[in-house]
Structures are given as C-alpha cells and as structure tokens.
Amino acid sequence: MRQLHRKALRRTRPSFWLSSKAWPGRAWARTCNHMAAMSGIRKASVVIPWPPSVNRYWRSVNGRNILSAEARAYRITLEAQALAERWPKFGGQRIAVQIDAWPPDRRRRDLDNVLKATLDAGTHTGLWDDDSQIDSLTIVRRSPTTGVCSITVEVI
C-alpha cells in the first residue's frame, strides 16, 4: 500500500515536493486563511474531479476506520490542484456552498455520497476552515457528461 501512495504522489506532485520539508501542507494553508477576508473576495468557484463514493472512502483495518488509498490519492490530487490554481481561502467566515455534480456516467448514484468527499476536500485544502461554518448547502445533479464537481462558495 505504501508503494501505491508513493506512485500517487509522483503522479500529482512534482519530484521536489516529495520531501516533507518542501511540501507546504496544512501549516501553510493556516497562514493564508484570511486572504479572502483581506482581499474582499465574496464568491469563488472551483472545479474538481469526481470524488470517490462514501462507500469507498473509508476502510476498516484492525478495528480502526482509516481513509482508503483511493481517498488519500484524491486528497493529494486536490492539494496539488489547489496550489496550482491558487484557490482562495475563506478562513472562518460563515459561508454558503453550492455543489453542481456532473456524474461520469448514467449509473444510479446517491447525491449524498458525493457530499462527504467534496466537503472534506474543501476543508483539507484550506478553502474553508471547518464544515461547521457552512450555513447553506445546496447540491444539484447535472446531466452525466464529464465526471466533475463545481464548488461555488459565497460569504454570507
């Protein structure tokens, strides 16, 4: 499993980010938390790849629930995307979130399975500090085409 994780790192991060000293991580995100508040950003949209289902997000190992390899690889992909696209940081402000989901195919899916991974992605990448600051949450299923989700965040 460790090899799978390293392969996922190589696919999503440049080679100089593989050492822990070069990768900024959560500490860097915390220092940028008030960027949106200071710059006056009131609304922003980001497009992310289709998240893994909640059914595949967690695994039970020796009685402990841990993130699956697929979920860890997804988080790493989004960290790299957030850095590359310079996602805004809304910090601890009260926000409204709208998620537009374009499924990758026509299979039957529960929309609530998309929510967990998508909201965790917003928290993990520093888009917002915690899920508890979301006062309004809307999710809309769009026609099956590309397998992406659009997250629109607006300060209330």
pLDDT tens digits in sequence order for the chain, 156 residues long: 445 555 554 554 444 444 444 444 444 444 444 454 455 678 999 999 999 988 888 898 999 999 999 999 999 999 999 999 999 999 889 999 999 999 999 999 888 888 988 998 899 999 999 989 999 999 999 999 888 999 999 998
Residue 25 belongs to domain with CATH number = 3.30.1330.70
- For position 40, what pLDDT does the model report? 65
- For position 116, what pLDDT does the model report? 86
d(CA 9, CA 134): 30
The number of folded domains in the chain is 1
Question: End-to-end distance of the chain based on CA atoms, in angstroms?
Answer: 42
Backbone φ, ψ for residue 42 (5° rounding)? -110, -25
Q: CA 127, 129, 135 angle in degrees (round to 5)?
A: 90
- For position 3, what pLDDT does the model report? 53
The domain in which residue 8 lies consists of 2-155
In terms of pTM, does the model score above 0.95?
A: no
Count CA atoms within 13 Å of residue 54 on its CB side: 11
- For position 110, what pLDDT does the model report? 87
Distance of CA 83 to the CA centre of its chain: 12
* Sheet arrangement for strand 95-102: 43-49, 148-155, 95-102, 134-141
